[in-house]
Structure 1
Amino acid sequence: MSFRIDPRLPLTGEVRRILADEIGRAISHLETAREKPEQGLHKCRKRLKSVRALLRMVRSGDEPFCRTENECYKQVSALLAGPREATALIETVDRLADAFPEQSAGGGLDPVRERLVLRQHELHAGPGLDAAINAAVAACREGLERIDRLALPDLPEQAADILADGARATLRRAKKALDKAEARGEDEDFHNLRKAAKTHSMHLSLLGRLWPTPIKARRKAVDKLGEQLG
């Protein structure tokens, strides 16, 4: 199914459809993570980010539902953060080695990488990972059952206002993070800017059927920004 809102259809049905699809895929990735945690956890967390981006976009249309569900999937993502971070740190070391081959030629990063790999194995092999996956799967399945509670205005004009409100809210967060990054240059400011850019990219994807050509070009630029900030 497509991660795009069809403007010809009622907004409530479209958002419910996308939520069900993304949460269902997250559950599938969690099951994969039992045998292949490096792959499954990363893909699951990406799906959860998509779910939360969608909830942010339509929040003004049903704030109680969106606020509650966003917090739910934030907590699910937090359950998986430690095991996923263990892999991400190894990937970061590998990118550093690729980016600075001369400086890392002597194997200076090898001891760091070995310790990170050991930590990854400990996290992935222990009972904590299974417990986290079980809790995450249960929370996602409960979330699937709650989707029908979502109720958004379906008149085209009202639906358009809701989508515009959500997109603007993310752009305001991005502008705030950019201002702080320019003024202070703290790591957290750039991290928040990157998160806002990623959310904006997902919003552009959701809106892709409304203005395909300009949105495609903008999303390409936003994705490039996200990679540069990452």
Structure 2
Amino acid sequence: MSYHFKADETTDQGLRRIAHEQTLKAIDVLDVAPLPMSAKIHDMRKRCKKVRGLLRLVRGSNTDLYDVENKRFREIAKTVSARRDATSMIEAFDKLIEGHEDKLNVASFAPAHAGLVRRRDEVRQESEDINVVVGELLAELKEGAKAIEDWSLPEADEEVAGFDLFRGGFVKTYADGQEAMEVALEKPTRGNIHEWRKRAKDHWYQVRLLRESWSVPMKSRRRATKRMADHLGDDRDLTLLRDTLTEQPEQFGGVDVVEIVIGLIDREHEQLRLRAMDVGRRLYAEEPESIADRFERYWMSWRESESRLPAEIAEFEDAVST
């Protein structure tokens, strides 16, 4: 399934196709995919975020549609966020220790790992029956898939090849990312870093959606944006891990073990934020309207060249055959 616009479809057709594909895939993964439940939930949440990234691209064209559908897919993903966070902390802990295993007695951190596993299992037990939750999620996703058929979108302006549906949403998403980064760099609180990461992910999704307009520079930007978002995602997971360990250190190997882990986390925070800043300063170097102008030119040139190509091929084949 292609999470990007194609040349052989109108803009509104592409919007509905992409949203429908991601929603149906989320349903399929939850319902029948032969995967562990944690993997099912992780994949479903990613699909919902992809739909929300798509909706942010068109929110300037239909605010009401954005408000309703963004809320729908946000709430679906939020339903199982606690389960996902509990698993992410284990992954973050293991990655942190493995990254310093040449300097540590890894065996001494086994109680901390075991404590995080117990906590994950407790979260699962305290949550509603997962089969009931999955049934409710499937019902919500099926309703969302049906609603896509009735999405109300304004007609695209043929003179700008449909980019007018995107421009407002693209500009706002990019500007929000710029602001979130500046706020986070000035005051790197948990909430500010998380907001920066969310806005970075939004931009990443939108670059992926528009990537066919000029694949080579878009590929570079896509990779850089993902790298920034990954650094910030790792930072968030470590923040959750730090908070959990400090609340009840006796559950994770005791104060001595927890203090060592917190020291590692704090140093890793500094490195991750520096790496994210290094990429972010370049990604957000342009003014919102300027980068929108550039992306619009990519889009228009791509759509115009793709529309000419079949006729040019036909003319060439006719010339060859005569």
What's the TM-score once normalised by structure 2's chain length? 0.66
Q: Of 193, 205, 209, which residue of structure 2 is paired with 1:206? A: 209
**Gap change, CA 1:223 and 1:106, over 3 Å in 2:** closer
Q: How does 1:169-208 map to 2 (within 5 A)?
A: 169-208=172-211
Native 8 Å contact 2:53 2:202 kept in 1: yes
Q: Is the 8 A contact 1:52 1:70 kept in 2?
A: yes
Partner of 1:4: 4
User: Displacement of 1:72 after TM fit?
Assistant: 0.6
Alpha-carbon deviation of 1:35? 6.2
Cα drift, residue 124 of structure 1: 4.1
Letter in 1 for 2:48: L
Q: Matches of 2:32 and 2:95 in 1, distance apart? A: 25
Partner of 2:305: none
CA contact (8 A) 1:65 1:149 kept: no
Report the TM-score when normalising by structure 1: 0.91
Partner of 1:218: 221
**Counterpart of 1:154?**
156
CA change 1:52–1:85 in 2 (3 A) is: same
Partner of residue 308, structure 2 = none
Aligned match of 2:94: 94
Judged with a 3 Å threshold, the aligned counterparts in structure 2 of structure 1 residues 123 and 36 are, in CA distance, closer, same or farther, namely: farther
| Structure 1 equivalent of residue 70 of structure 2 | 70
Q: Secondary structure at the match of 1:159?
A: coil
Higher relative contact order (CA 8 A, sep 6+): 1
Count of matched residue pairs: 230
For the residue of structure 1 that corresponds to 2:213, the secondary structure is coil
Structure 1 contact 37–124 (Cα < 8 Å) conserved:
no
User: In structure 1, how many angstroms separate the alpha carbons of the residues matched to 2:80 and 2:33?
Assistant: 10
Contact 2:53-2:205 at 8 Å conserved across structures: yes
Decide which moves more: 176-185 or 156-165.
156-165
Aligned-pair CA distance for 1:118: 2.0
Write out per-residue CA displacement over residues 148-191 of structure 1, whole angstroms, 9 at most, x where no aligned residue: 11132233327312212222211111111111122112122222
How many Å apart are 1:131 and its aligned residue?
Answer: 2.3
Unaligned runs of 5+ in 2: 234-322
Residue 107 of structure 1 aligns to which amino acid in structure 2?
A: A
Tell me: CA distance 1:33–1:173, structure 2 relative to 1, closer, same or farther (3 Å). farther
- Secondary structure of 2:2 counterpart: coil
Is 1:39–2:42 an aligned residue pair? no
Q: Which amino acid aligns with 1:135?
A: E
Residue number in structure 2 paired with 1:52: 52
The question of 1:163 aligning with 2:170 is answered: no
Is the radius of gyration larger for structure 1 or structure 2? 2
Q: Structure 2 CA distance, aligned partners of 1:53 and 1:108? A: 42
**Higher mean displacement: 131-140 or 109-118:** 109-118
Partner of 2:144: 143
Mapped to 2, the partners of 1:51 and 1:25 lie a distance apart of 11
> Given that residues 33 and 41 in structure 1 are in contact (C-alpha distance below 8 angstroms), is that contact kept between their aligned partners in structure 2?
no
